[in-house]
Structure 1
Amino acid sequence: MANVINHPSRFLHLAISLIILIIFLIPLITFLNNNSLIFTIITKPYFSYYLTSFNNQSHQSHYPWRFSWRNTFINSLEFEGNVNYPSSSSSSNYSNDVSRAISPDFTKCGPVDLPPNAITSPYCCPTLATPFKFIDFKDYIINATYKYKNNSSIRVRRAAHLVDDEFIAKLEKGIAIMKSLPNDDPRNFIQQAKVHCAYCNGGYPQKHPFQDQKIDVHRSWLFFPFHRFYIYFFERILGTLIGDPSFALPYWNWDSIQGMQIPSYFTTPNSSLYHKLRHYKHMPPHLVDLNYDILSPKIRTQDQQISYNLAFMYKQMVLANTKELFMGSPYRLGDPAQPGPGSVELAPHNTIHDWLGAVDTPNHEDMGTFYTAARDPIFYAHHSNVDRLWELWTKLEGGRRDYRDDPNWLDSKFFFYDENLNLVRVKVSIIVKRPRKLRSKEEKEQEEEVLVIEVTELQSYENVKFDVHIDDDEDMLSDENHAEFVGTFVSLPHGNHGHKSNTRFMVGISKVLENLEAEEDDHIVVTLVPMIGKGDVTIGRINIQFMSK
């Protein structure tokens, strides 16, 4: 001992070693006593790495995952799964002068990626004329306008629960005619459904030199514009077949109290609008659950369900106050598919697909999986409402901005057949208007605090769902009508594109923290509750970012 005292440097080294040993022992003891893992990473605030997965949670209780940060503190409840650290990823650099707008190589359409045990194996590619030719939308719309110049009517979509018998008869007639057309007619009802299958299940490759990357319009900024064009041309075909070019699809406004059940005329067995492959327990007057959990459906009174639905819509629409939060992440030429979905795409869009899908089919066909979803006539009323929500979102708080300042979004292209069997090429810039004035300096400085959760190793042929809570009681988690519940991640089975996919969950939390009086807190606790998860799902980097509004 004297020898140690006579050598201060050795004493110092011994003391440091003891301190390090204690630092490592305390978390170990805590882990053994509390069955949880607690540790601290010394790094910048708002930035922590943590990776974990849940494997086939269908047979497990809903054990939550908890993360704390702001002061780089992470707390995770122990559960069955793997714990890893994410590897760093890099992306290629592209010149701003090179267009990276997504466009399908339409002549190279091929077999789509199907989920396991698919009940049908459709060839979703359209029949192409020889030689291959198309017309641009600007020429198409000029010709269409001239053709109907004597018709002063415009198409006005009405709420599905407010239409009259005459309208219902027209809708039934139009769908019946579409179903009766020859199988190789692009206007045939199943051919129209295959359009959705091809664009949403990897039927088209990207253009040279990225032919190895398949296009998927979901979980990205293409979700809203693609589906707007899709139902636009479906609507025109329908109107032409019944001799009424002003005919418009109804929108099933499940976001309002009066519309929270399937419109009854879609459930009449002898109607062309009826579809057999639907959830038999969800027929009227059963109310839709906008945050539906296919494995553990909630049992609620009608008043409770209405309250939860309205609160959930507020979160998905109002709290998603940046373009990336609402519309999804940018998706450019060369990018892997599904970079990150927007709030409404995740739910209620995905959850309603699940809510409608049959329970006795492997992938909840037809509405519960994308390769068959458009075979159900109610698909188009569902997406008419999704399209309506995009329009409503742009008008919130004096006007919210989408991606119209990004040329790669504006130049993204799709192909659709019109009512006259013309193949029409469209691009996103057609359906958005340029801003009338530049934003002020104050507007540019406005930012939203955003919780970003990277979802990696996602098996896209499986159902996956987890809910996200902030500063909640882990023993009594809040429902959708409480501020602590901030959102949900939902993935429907739609083919695996040959590999596991990576995507992101994003949710705005500025108003959440304000409502919870947590704006000045040094840390927040985030709870992830796996509700459905067959196969490996990995949570990668989690951080808080600031996004311009």
Structure 2
Amino acid sequence: MKALPADDPRNFVQQANVHCVHCDSIPDNYIQVHQNWFFFPWHRWYLYFNERILGKLTGDDSFALPFWNWDSLGGMMLPSIYADPTSPLYDKLRDAKHQPPFLVDFDYNGTDPNFTAAQQIDHNLKIMYRQFFCNGKTPMLFLGSAYRGGDQTNPGGGSVENMPHNNVHTWTGDRTHPNFEDMGTFYAAGRDPIVFAHHANIDRMWSLWKKLTRKHRDFNDSDWLKTSFLFHDENADLVRVTVKDCLKTQWLGYTYQDVKIPWLEARPTPKLAKAKNAASRSLKPTAEAQFPVTLESPVSATLKRPKVGRSRKEKEEEEEVLIVEGIEFERDHFIKFDVIVNATESDGITPGDSEFAGSFVNTPHQHRHRKEENKVKTRLCLGITDLLEDIGGEDDDGVLVTIVPKAGIGKVSVGGLRIDFSK
């Protein structure tokens, strides 16, 4: 294949820069495509045009990007073709300790856990179940929060974007580099060819989400549907595309291979006996958090629920959502904290336990910013209807919420907690 000029928008570096530009909202006329409801449609179009460009340049009209099925038992490691130093898909800026057959960690916090392979697989599968069927029940929970003209960036990402998407990025990047390049920081992620295989699986998640249950549906909001993006196509022509035109992969001429989905039945299970959960709810934390609070150590707070004893119909119509709001940090830090319900850090809660509500994860951006642009303020939304049922707390007046910092300790603050409902 003939090398392209440096200014050709189809060459590898320019394609990597497309992602870099849209992950930082700089210059101001570009749309931020992370931590909001544009995450899935923008990345789908990004993959689509990259695939078309590669097909054109190789002369293969049938060319298709592969997807890295890290959610399958056989795919939970770096694919061998990407780990082969003689392959053009190889990138030396990857974590040397995470080469095959080392298993990917969907809960990665910068250090490797002392799990057996069976334990790691179990945690990964239960995280997938939770992000789909507990934390992803509504369009807002799965796709991300609304981001309209004039809004501040980063209103809040969807469940799968937050975890495992962000964790796989950081897990793949090289921890010996200050910014976890390439995959571990958004400005450089596009320089690693595996970013396209990673995001092809993320794109597959969007398709699966709508396929697995009729309740999972896209937004019908015109602000979302009519939003447009600019891309260069396979002929290097600038074209404008919209969200509404990419809602089905079939419209773009592709579908995903059917593979086994081992996490469909991997519902998390309670770690604590219901009697102990009841005791946790009857006690005040030793130190009730005073918000806003900097996460230098675990913090706990009791939270009153706005509605108790909901019927099955009410639960199906509206998901009870725990919102961690006013999350503030500098965007160039790797941030991770866990949220657990009716348990404390000393209970040893893991992602495989029902008491584990979810995590907030920030993949660093590490780009040049003005000081006022470097600060991020966002939120985390976690569905807790199933969680409360599993731990026997659906009829309780309140919950005990504990936030456990895992990465970026002391570099992130939380403004408050509340419970709301999402349709």
TM exceeding 0.5: yes
Alignment of 1:340-489 (within 5 A): 340-403=156-219, 405-432=220-247, 446-489=317-360
SS in 2 for 1:395: helix
Which residue is equivalent to 1:315?
Answer: 130
Which residue is equivalent to 2:101?
Answer: 285
Quote how far apart the aligned CAs of 1:493 are.
1.3
SS in 2 for 1:465: strand
Equivalent AA in structure 2 for residue 278 of structure 1: R
Number of residues of Structure 1 aligned to a counterpart in Structure 2:
354
Quote how far apart the aligned CAs of 1:234 are.
0.2
Partner Cα separation in structure 1 for residue 226 and residue 149 of structure 2: 11
Which residue is equivalent to 2:32?
Answer: 216
Whether 2:383 is the aligned partner of 1:536: answer no
Which residue is equivalent to 2:297?
Answer: none
Partner Cα separation in structure 2 for residue 198 and residue 398 of structure 1: 35
Which residue is equivalent to 1:324?
Answer: 140
Q: Which runs of 5+ in 2 are unaligned?
A: 249-312
Quote how far apart the aligned CAs of 1:318 are.
1.0
CA-to-aligned-CA distance 1:440-466 (integer Å, 9 cap, x gap): xx8997000000111333211111100
Partner Cα separation in structure 1 for residue 97 and residue 336 of structure 2: 21
Alignment of 1:2-401 (within 5 A): 177=1, 180-206=3-29, 215-294=31-110, 296-319=111-134, 320-401=136-217
Equivalent AA in structure 1 for residue 395 of structure 2: E
Identity %: 50
The structure-2 alpha-carbon separation of the partners of 1:444 and 1:306, relative to structure 1 and needing over 3 Å to count, comes to: closer
Partner Cα separation in structure 2 for residue 455 and residue 399 of structure 1: 30
The structure-2 alpha-carbon separation of the partners of 1:402 and 1:382, relative to structure 1 and needing over 3 Å to count, comes to: same
Which residue is equivalent to 2:266?
Answer: none
Partner Cα separation in structure 2 for residue 181 and residue 201 of structure 1: 26
SS in 1 for 2:407: strand
Equivalent AA in structure 1 for residue 21 of structure 2: A
Which residue is equivalent to 2:390?
Answer: 515
Equivalent AA in structure 1 for residue 132 of structure 2: M
Quote how far apart the aligned CAs of 1:517 are.
1.0
Partner Cα separation in structure 2 for residue 243 and residue 386 of structure 1: 27
SS in 2 for 1:475: helix
Quote how far apart the aligned CAs of 1:246 are.
1.7
Does structure 1 conserve the Cα–Cα contact (< 8 Å) formed by 2:315 and 2:385? Answer: no
Equivalent AA in structure 2 for residue 379 of structure 1: V
Partner Cα separation in structure 2 for residue 346 and residue 473 of structure 1: 23
SS in 2 for 1:307: helix
Quote how far apart the aligned CAs of 1:271 are.
1.2
Quote how far apart the aligned CAs of 1:477 are.
2.4
TM-score after normalising by structure 1: 0.63
Whether 2:362 is the aligned partner of 1:491: answer yes
TM-score after normalising by structure 2: 0.81
Equivalent AA in structure 1 for residue 247 of structure 2: V
SS in 1 for 2:190: helix
Q: Which runs of 5+ in 1 are unaligned?
A: 1-176, 207-213, 434-441
SS in 1 for 2:322: strand
Partner Cα separation in structure 2 for residue 500 and residue 273 of structure 1: 34
Which residue is equivalent to 1:174?
Answer: none
Does structure 1 conserve the Cα–Cα contact (< 8 Å) formed by 2:132 and 2:142? Answer: yes
Partner Cα separation in structure 1 for residue 50 and residue 81 of structure 2: 20
Does structure 1 conserve the Cα–Cα contact (< 8 Å) formed by 2:345 and 2:404? Answer: no
Which residue is equivalent to 1:43?
Answer: none
- State the structure with more CA Rg: 1
Moved over 3 A (4+): 442-445
Does structure 2 conserve the Cα–Cα contact (< 8 Å) formed by 1:462 and 1:535? Answer: no
Does structure 1 conserve the Cα–Cα contact (< 8 Å) formed by 2:51 and 2:65? Answer: yes
Equivalent AA in structure 1 for residue 13 of structure 2: I
Partner Cα separation in structure 1 for residue 315 and residue 226 of structure 2: 24
The structure-2 alpha-carbon separation of the partners of 1:521 and 1:445, relative to structure 1 and needing over 3 Å to count, comes to: closer
Equivalent AA in structure 1 for residue 238 of structure 2: L
SS in 2 for 1:461: coil
